[in-house]
Structure 1
Amino acid sequence: MKHINDITLFSSQSTAVESYHLTDEKLLTGDPLQSVQNHFESPCKQFNVGVWQSEPGSWNINYSEYEYCDILEGCSIITDSQGKSLTVNAGDKFVIPAGFTGTWEVVNHCKKIYVMFEQQLEQT
Protein backbone atom coordinates (compact mmCIF):
# COMPACT_ATOMS: atom_id res chain seq x y z
CA MET A 1 0.00 0.00 0.00
CA LYS A 2 1.31 3.46 -0.92
CA HIS A 3 0.89 6.62 1.16
CA ILE A 4 1.16 10.39 0.74
CA ASN A 5 4.93 10.23 1.36
CA ASP A 6 5.26 8.05 -1.74
CA ILE A 7 4.19 10.91 -4.02
CA THR A 8 7.14 12.39 -5.92
CA LEU A 9 6.92 16.19 -5.67
CA PHE A 10 9.44 17.64 -8.13
CA SER A 11 9.48 21.13 -6.63
CA SER A 12 10.83 19.81 -3.33
CA GLN A 13 13.48 17.52 -4.87
CA SER A 14 17.08 18.41 -5.56
CA THR A 15 17.53 16.17 -8.59
CA ALA A 16 20.98 16.29 -10.15
CA VAL A 17 21.29 17.91 -13.57
CA GLU A 18 23.26 15.85 -16.08
CA SER A 19 24.81 17.95 -18.87
CA TYR A 20 26.22 16.43 -22.05
CA HIS A 21 27.00 16.88 -25.75
CA LEU A 22 25.69 14.52 -28.42
CA THR A 23 27.83 11.79 -29.94
CA ASP A 24 29.24 12.34 -33.44
CA GLU A 25 27.02 9.51 -34.76
CA LYS A 26 23.82 11.40 -33.85
CA LEU A 27 24.93 15.00 -34.42
CA LEU A 28 23.97 16.77 -37.68
CA THR A 29 24.60 20.48 -37.00
CA GLY A 30 26.01 22.55 -34.15
CA ASP A 31 27.29 21.14 -30.88
CA PRO A 32 24.32 21.73 -28.57
CA LEU A 33 24.85 21.49 -24.84
CA GLN A 34 21.97 19.44 -23.46
CA SER A 35 20.86 18.65 -19.94
CA VAL A 36 18.43 16.29 -18.30
CA GLN A 37 16.93 16.23 -14.81
CA ASN A 38 15.27 12.84 -14.42
CA HIS A 39 12.96 13.41 -11.45
CA PHE A 40 11.39 9.95 -11.42
CA GLU A 41 12.21 6.44 -12.60
CA SER A 42 9.86 3.56 -11.87
CA PRO A 43 11.28 0.46 -10.15
CA CYS A 44 10.94 -1.49 -13.43
CA LYS A 45 12.86 1.34 -15.21
CA GLN A 46 10.22 1.55 -17.97
CA PHE A 47 8.69 4.89 -16.88
CA ASN A 48 10.64 8.15 -16.50
CA VAL A 49 9.67 11.79 -15.92
CA GLY A 50 11.85 14.86 -15.96
CA VAL A 51 13.03 18.06 -17.60
CA TRP A 52 15.24 18.23 -20.71
CA GLN A 53 16.93 21.29 -22.22
CA SER A 54 19.03 21.91 -25.31
CA GLU A 55 20.83 24.71 -27.08
CA PRO A 56 20.42 25.09 -30.88
CA GLY A 57 21.53 22.27 -33.16
CA SER A 58 20.13 19.19 -34.90
CA TRP A 59 20.56 15.44 -34.58
CA ASN A 60 19.12 12.09 -35.61
CA ILE A 61 16.42 10.56 -33.43
CA ASN A 62 15.24 6.96 -33.13
CA TYR A 63 12.56 6.44 -30.47
CA SER A 64 12.27 3.03 -28.82
CA GLU A 65 10.00 4.58 -26.17
CA TYR A 66 6.75 6.54 -26.18
CA GLU A 67 7.37 10.12 -25.07
CA TYR A 68 4.91 12.78 -23.97
CA CYS A 69 6.43 16.26 -24.35
CA ASP A 70 5.29 19.58 -22.92
CA ILE A 71 7.39 22.37 -24.47
CA LEU A 72 8.03 25.02 -21.82
CA GLU A 73 10.43 27.28 -23.75
CA GLY A 74 11.77 27.71 -27.25
CA CYS A 75 11.14 26.25 -30.65
CA SER A 76 12.08 22.94 -32.28
CA ILE A 77 11.41 21.26 -35.61
CA ILE A 78 10.80 17.51 -35.61
CA THR A 79 11.15 15.86 -39.03
CA ASP A 80 10.21 12.27 -39.87
CA SER A 81 12.15 9.88 -42.09
CA GLN A 82 10.02 10.92 -45.12
CA GLY A 83 10.90 14.60 -44.70
CA LYS A 84 7.59 15.82 -43.23
CA SER A 85 8.09 18.21 -40.31
CA LEU A 86 6.28 19.60 -37.29
CA THR A 87 7.33 22.85 -35.61
CA VAL A 88 6.72 22.85 -31.85
CA ASN A 89 6.77 25.93 -29.62
CA ALA A 90 6.29 26.80 -25.97
CA GLY A 91 2.85 25.60 -24.90
CA ASP A 92 2.70 22.65 -27.32
CA LYS A 93 2.00 19.21 -25.89
CA PHE A 94 2.35 16.00 -27.92
CA VAL A 95 3.33 12.33 -27.92
CA ILE A 96 6.12 10.85 -30.04
CA PRO A 97 5.38 7.16 -30.70
CA ALA A 98 7.86 4.34 -30.21
CA GLY A 99 9.41 3.50 -33.57
CA PHE A 100 9.57 7.14 -34.76
CA THR A 101 12.78 8.00 -36.64
CA GLY A 102 13.94 11.28 -38.11
CA THR A 103 15.63 14.44 -36.84
CA TRP A 104 15.16 16.94 -34.03
CA GLU A 105 16.31 20.52 -34.58
CA VAL A 106 16.36 23.06 -31.77
CA VAL A 107 15.89 26.48 -33.40
CA ASN A 108 16.34 28.40 -30.14
CA HIS A 109 16.91 27.19 -26.60
CA CYS A 110 14.32 24.49 -25.90
CA LYS A 111 13.08 23.23 -22.54
CA LYS A 112 10.51 20.47 -22.11
CA ILE A 113 8.93 18.24 -19.54
CA TYR A 114 9.09 14.63 -20.71
CA VAL A 115 7.21 11.53 -19.67
CA MET A 116 8.64 8.37 -21.23
CA PHE A 117 7.36 4.82 -21.31
CA GLU A 118 9.61 2.08 -22.69
CA GLN A 119 7.62 -1.07 -23.38
CA GLN A 120 9.55 -4.23 -22.59
CA LEU A 121 9.56 -6.75 -25.39
CA GLU A 122 8.52 -10.22 -24.41
CA GLN A 123 11.31 -12.77 -24.66
CA THR A 124 10.51 -16.16 -26.13
Structure 2
Amino acid sequence: MVVTIRVDTSPVSPLDQPIAAEKLVSGRPMTGFRATHDDEAAGFWSGVWESEVGAWRVAYEETELCVMLAGRARLVSDDGSSETYGPGEAFVVPKGFSGVWETLEPCRKIYAIAT
Protein backbone atom coordinates (compact mmCIF):
# COMPACT_ATOMS: atom_id res chain seq x y z
CA MET A 1 0.00 0.00 0.00
CA VAL A 2 1.28 3.48 -0.89
CA VAL A 3 0.65 6.16 1.70
CA THR A 4 0.97 9.88 1.02
CA ILE A 5 2.82 12.19 3.38
CA ARG A 6 1.33 15.52 4.41
CA VAL A 7 3.76 18.45 4.66
CA ASP A 8 3.21 20.47 7.84
CA THR A 9 3.80 24.05 6.64
CA SER A 10 3.44 25.70 10.05
CA PRO A 11 6.39 27.68 11.48
CA VAL A 12 9.47 25.74 12.52
CA SER A 13 10.47 26.08 16.14
CA PRO A 14 13.07 26.56 17.39
CA LEU A 15 15.40 28.14 14.86
CA ASP A 16 18.51 26.62 16.38
CA GLN A 17 20.95 26.08 13.51
CA PRO A 18 23.48 28.86 12.86
CA ILE A 19 25.12 29.34 9.48
CA ALA A 20 28.78 28.31 9.59
CA ALA A 21 30.98 31.38 10.24
CA GLU A 22 33.12 30.78 7.14
CA LYS A 23 30.01 31.02 4.91
CA LEU A 24 28.54 34.22 6.41
CA VAL A 25 28.32 37.30 4.20
CA SER A 26 26.10 39.41 6.49
CA GLY A 27 24.16 39.02 9.70
CA ARG A 28 24.13 36.02 11.99
CA PRO A 29 20.94 34.26 10.93
CA MET A 30 19.60 31.21 12.66
CA THR A 31 17.82 28.56 10.61
CA GLY A 32 15.72 25.51 11.35
CA PHE A 33 13.92 22.77 9.52
CA ARG A 34 11.34 20.06 9.98
CA ALA A 35 11.90 17.02 7.79
CA THR A 36 8.85 15.50 6.15
CA HIS A 37 10.41 12.70 4.15
CA ASP A 38 13.99 11.43 4.13
CA ASP A 39 14.85 8.65 1.68
CA GLU A 40 18.62 8.28 1.57
CA ALA A 41 18.42 5.26 -0.75
CA ALA A 42 16.40 7.23 -3.32
CA GLY A 43 18.42 10.43 -2.82
CA PHE A 44 15.32 12.45 -1.91
CA TRP A 45 14.52 14.70 1.06
CA SER A 46 11.69 17.12 1.77
CA GLY A 47 10.35 19.29 4.54
CA VAL A 48 9.99 22.88 5.72
CA TRP A 49 12.92 25.24 6.35
CA GLU A 50 13.07 28.72 7.90
CA SER A 51 15.67 31.44 8.18
CA GLU A 52 16.23 34.75 9.88
CA VAL A 53 17.57 37.75 7.93
CA GLY A 54 21.15 37.41 6.69
CA ALA A 55 23.28 36.27 3.76
CA TRP A 56 25.69 33.39 3.25
CA ARG A 57 27.62 31.56 0.53
CA VAL A 58 26.07 28.44 -0.96
CA ALA A 59 27.34 25.75 -3.33
CA TYR A 60 24.66 23.23 -4.28
CA GLU A 61 25.70 19.59 -4.66
CA GLU A 62 22.08 18.60 -5.28
CA THR A 63 19.00 19.99 -7.00
CA GLU A 64 16.39 21.69 -4.80
CA LEU A 65 12.82 22.73 -5.45
CA CYS A 66 11.78 25.61 -3.16
CA VAL A 67 8.23 26.85 -2.59
CA MET A 68 8.19 30.08 -0.61
CA LEU A 69 5.52 30.18 2.10
CA ALA A 70 6.52 33.43 3.84
CA GLY A 71 9.14 36.17 3.65
CA ARG A 72 11.52 37.06 0.82
CA ALA A 73 14.85 35.65 -0.32
CA ARG A 74 17.28 36.58 -3.07
CA LEU A 75 19.74 34.24 -4.74
CA VAL A 76 22.78 35.88 -6.32
CA SER A 77 24.83 33.71 -8.66
CA ASP A 78 28.61 33.98 -8.81
CA ASP A 79 28.12 35.52 -12.28
CA GLY A 80 26.22 38.43 -10.65
CA SER A 81 22.71 37.55 -11.83
CA SER A 82 20.03 37.49 -9.15
CA GLU A 83 16.41 36.57 -8.56
CA THR A 84 14.16 37.48 -5.64
CA TYR A 85 11.33 35.23 -4.46
CA GLY A 86 8.38 35.75 -2.14
CA PRO A 87 5.30 33.97 -0.82
CA GLY A 88 3.59 31.71 -3.33
CA GLU A 89 6.56 31.61 -5.70
CA ALA A 90 8.48 28.45 -6.53
CA PHE A 91 11.94 27.98 -8.01
CA VAL A 92 14.56 25.33 -8.63
CA VAL A 93 18.19 25.68 -7.57
CA PRO A 94 20.12 23.35 -9.87
CA LYS A 95 23.01 21.16 -8.82
CA GLY A 96 26.19 23.20 -9.34
CA PHE A 97 24.67 26.60 -8.43
CA SER A 98 27.18 28.69 -6.51
CA GLY A 99 26.60 32.11 -5.03
CA VAL A 100 24.85 33.80 -2.11
CA TRP A 101 21.52 33.02 -0.44
CA GLU A 102 20.18 36.24 1.11
CA THR A 103 17.16 36.16 3.39
CA LEU A 104 15.68 39.66 3.02
CA GLU A 105 12.72 39.04 5.37
CA PRO A 106 12.37 36.08 7.73
CA CYS A 107 11.33 33.30 5.38
CA ARG A 108 9.80 29.84 5.41
CA LYS A 109 9.84 27.44 2.46
CA ILE A 110 8.96 23.91 1.48
CA TYR A 111 12.02 22.12 0.13
CA ALA A 112 12.39 19.00 -1.98
CA ILE A 113 15.95 17.89 -2.62
CA ALA A 114 17.13 15.28 -5.11
CA THR A 115 20.69 14.09 -5.67
Give the match for residue 74 of structure 1: 71
Q: What is the alpha-carbon distance in structure 2 between the residues aligned to residue 70 and residue 21 of structure 1?
A: 22
Alignment CA distance shift 1:18-1:57 (3 Å): closer
Deviations 1:59-91 (A, max 9, x none): 001001100000000011100001111011111
Is structure 2 residue 24 aligned with structure 1 residue 27? yes
Q: 2:53 maps to which residue?
A: 56
Residue-pair matches, total: 112
1:1-124 matched pairs, under 5 angstroms: 3-4=1-2, 6-11=3-8, 19-44=16-41, 46-118=43-115
**Percentage identity across aligned positions?**
32
Q: 2:14 & 2:7 partners in 1: Cα distance?
A: 13
Query: What is the root-mean-square deviation of aligned Cα atoms in Å?
Result: 1.9
Q: TM-score, normalised by structure 2?
A: 0.89
Aligned equivalents of 1:80, 1:45: Cα separation in 2: 28
How far residue 38 of structure 1 moved from its aligned partner, in angstroms, is: 1.0
User: Are the counterparts in 2 of residues 17 and 37 from structure 1 also a CA contact under 8 Å?
Assistant: no
- What are the Cα deviations for residues 21-63 of structure 1, in whole angstroms up to 9, with x where unaligned? 0111111110101001111111416100100000000000100
Q: What runs of 5+ residues in structure 1 fail to find an aligned partner?
A: 119-124
Matched residue, 1:122: none
Deviation at 1:10, TM superposition (A): 3.5
